[in-house]
Amino acid sequence: MAERIADLNKTLYDLTTEYPELVDILFDLGFMGVKNPVMRETHGKQMTVKAGCGHLGLNLGQVAERLREKGFTVKE
């Protein structure tokens, strides 16, 4: 199985396009708009995971840890 790399500096759109399973994972972490195709297509093309954490008041370290638990290598 190929290594799955979640680069937290990539846009939400790029990450969820590359790894569609991230939609549900990110939604569960608090990125509520990620399941909305219009939001993902517009805001998601500008918003990174890092920036999203800041806007949503989420702990970046906890988000990164959860992604690791789901089998991703996290690039910060």
**Residue-level pLDDT at 2:** 83
Within 8 A by CB and 6+ apart from 16, the residues are 22, 23, 26, 34, 40, 44
Domains of the chain: 5-75 (1.10.3910.10)
| DSSP H or E stretch at residue 75 | strand 73-75
- Specify the pTM: 0.91
Helix axes 49-56, 60-69, angle to 10 degrees: 130
* pLDDT, tens only, 8-61: 999 999 999 999 999 999 999 999 999 999 999 999 999 999 999 999 999 999
Q: Amino acid letter at 75?
A: K
Asked if pLDDT for residue 1 goes beyond 90, the answer is: no
Cα 68 from Cα 13, distance rounded (Å): 19
